[in-house]
Amino acid sequence: MKHYSIASVPGDGIGPEVIGAGVAVLQALAQHSNRFSLDVTGFDYGSDHYRKYGVMMPADALDRLRGFDAIYFGAVGAPDIPDHITLWGLRLAICQGFDQYANVRPTRILQGLRSPLRDCSTADLDWVIVRENSEGEYAGQGGRSHRGHPEEVATEVSIFTRAGVARIMRFAFQLARSRPRKHITVVTKSNAQRHGMVLWDEIASSTAAEYPDVTWDKMLVDAMTVRMVHDPASLDVIVATNLHADILSDLAAALAGSIGIAPTANLNPERTYPSMFEPIHGSAFDITGKGIANPVGAFWTAAQMLEHLGEMDAAARLMNAVEQVTANGPRTRDLGGDATTVQVTNAVIAAIEAGHT
Ligand SMILES: NC(=O)c1ccc[n+]([C@@H]2O[C@H](COP(=O)([O-])OP(=O)(O)OC[C@H]3O[C@@H](n4cnc5c(N)ncnc54)[C@H](O)[C@@H]3O)[C@@H](O)[C@H]2O)c1
C-alpha cells in the first residue's frame, strides 16, 4: 500500500470550494483502493494571508511544501489586491521556485457535453496544450522608470533561453510520441517577433529531427485561434510559449464546453521538486460563495495528479466517474444545468462508490 502526502493550497475565490470538492473525491477514491492512501495538509496561503501579514505566503513556504508528493492548488486573485501581486506572490512563486517548467493542459469534450462548435464530436476535439511555464513573456524581466511622470517608461522583456526552449520542445515531442496520432503543432509569432521567437522556431525544427515518428507543423498564434475553431480535428499536441498557451488554453476550454472543466498540471518532469495541479480557471469573483462553481476542472486535475503519482487505475476510475456525471447530470450552471458544487461532487463520489466505473 502506497501512501501519498498532498499539500493543498486552495487560495482565493472559488478555489476553496472546488478544492474542497476535489479532496472529498480523492478521499473517496483512496477509501475504495487497496493500492494507496493519502493525507492532505491544507495551507492558508493567498489573499487573506496577504491582508494579515503583507505577503501571499511566508518566506519559508517553499521549504514547507518541498517534501510533499504533489501540490493541489485552487486559484489566486482578489478584487482588492492587484493581480500582479497575488499571482507573482503565490502561483508563479511556486511554479518558478519548483522549476515546474512544463504546463500540461488536456482538452477534450467530456461525455454528454456539447461544444459550441456545431457538429464537433468527442473524437474531433482531443488536444493537449503544452505551455512553457518558466520563462518567455512571464519571466519577470523588465522595470519602470520615471514613475508617474510624462516620460514614464515600462518594459516587459520576454526571455527565451536555448536550455528553456529545448527542454519544453523535447517534453512536448515526447508527449506527442506517446499519443495515438503522434502529431504536434508548434505555435509561434516569429513573423513579428524576430529574436526569441526565431530561436523558438529553430529549436522546434531541430527537435523535430530527433522525432521522425512524430509529424509536426507550425502556426502563427493568430491563425492558430482560427484553426482551433474551424479545424479542431487537425490538432493533437500543441506547444506554445507561456503567454500564447495561457490564452489559447482558455479558448480551448470554452470550445470544449466551459472553463470550469479545464485542468492543468505544472510539472517538474525530473521530479526534483513536487509538481502542482490546478483547474485553469481563476477566483471567479462573480460566483464566489454561491456554491455553484463547477468542480470538474478540480476533479480532472486530481486525475492528472494521480497519473503523475503512478496511480493510473485510480485516475481512470475518477475520469470515468466524472464522465458518467457529465453525461447523465447533475451539471452546474456553466454547463446548462442548475446543480450546486456539492450535488455534482456527491454524484461523482456516488459513481465511484457504486463501482459503475
Ligand atoms: N491560476 C489562477 O489562479 C488564475 C487563473 C486565471 C485568473 N486568475 C485570477 O482570478 C481572478 C478572476 O479572473 P477572471 O475573471 O479573468 O477569470 P476566472 O477564471 O476567475 O473567471 C472567468 C469566468 O469564468 C467563470 N468560471 C470560472 N471558473 C468557473 C467554474 N469552476 N465554474 C463555473 N464558472 C466558472 C467565472 O464565473 C467568470 O465568469 C483575477 O484576480 C485573476 O488574476 C487566477
Counting from 1 in the atom list of ligand 1, the atom nearest the Cα of 83 is 43
| Backbone φ, ψ for residue 144 (5° rounding) | -130, 140
The share of the chain scoring above pLDDT 90, in percent, equals: 96
Give the burial string for 167-190 (b: 16+ CB within 10 Å, else e): bbbbbbbbbbeeeeebbbbbbbbb
The whole-number average pLDDT for the span 337-350 is 98
Distance of CA 78 from the midpoint of ligand 1 (Å)? 10
List pLDDT tens digits, range 13-36.
Answer: 999 999 999 999 999 999 999 899
Q: Say if ligand 1 is within 6 A of residue 77 CB.
A: yes
pLDDT at 357 exceeding the cut of 50: no
pLDDT at 56 exceeding the cut of 70: yes
C-alpha distance across the termini of the chain, in Å: 22
| Helix pair 312-328, 15-31: axis angle to 10 deg | 120
User: With left for phi above 0 and alpha for psi between -120 and 50, is residue 145 left, alpha or beta?
Assistant: beta
Rounded to the nearest integer, the mean pLDDT of the chain is 96
- With 0.85 as the threshold, say if the pTM is over it: yes
Distance of CA 281 from the midpoint of ligand 1 (Å)? 4
Counting from 1 in the atom list of ligand 1, the atom nearest the Cα of 264 is 1
Which residues, in sequence order, are CB contacts of 147 under 8 Å at separation 6+? none
The share of the chain scoring above pLDDT 70, in percent, equals: 99
List pLDDT tens digits, range 197-212.
Answer: 999 999 999 999 999 9
Rounded to whole angstroms, what are the CA distances from 235 to 16, 122, 185, 187? 34, 13, 7, 12
Counting from 1 in the atom list of ligand 1, the atom nearest the Cα of 90 is 3
Which residues lie across from 81 on neighbouring strands? Answer: 78
pLDDT at 355: 77
Q: Say if ligand 1 is within 6 A of residue 19 CB.
A: no
Pairwise CA distance, residues 160 & 216, whole Å:
21
Distance of CA 13 from the midpoint of ligand 1 (Å)? 9
CA atoms within 13 A on the CB side of 202: 10
Pairwise CA distance, residues 355 & 345, whole Å:
16
CA 247, 104, 240, 143: dihedral to nearest 10 degrees? Answer: 70
pLDDT at 248 exceeding the cut of 80: yes
pLDDT at 122: 87
Pairwise CA distance, residues 164 & 156, whole Å:
18
pLDDT band at residue 118, thresholds of 50, 70 and 90?
Answer: confident
In terms of Cα–Cα distance, which of 37, 227, 12 is closest to 117? 227
pLDDT at 336 exceeding the cut of 50: yes
List pLDDT tens digits, range 309-325.
Answer: 999 999 999 999 999 99
DSSP-H helix ranges across 98-195: 162-178
Which residues, in sequence order, are CB contacts of 148 under 8 Å at separation 6+? none
In terms of Cα–Cα distance, which of 226, 149, 211 is closest to 179? 211
Q: Say if ligand 1 is within 6 A of residue 82 CB.
A: no
In terms of Cα–Cα distance, which of 119, 157, 115 is closest to 140? 157
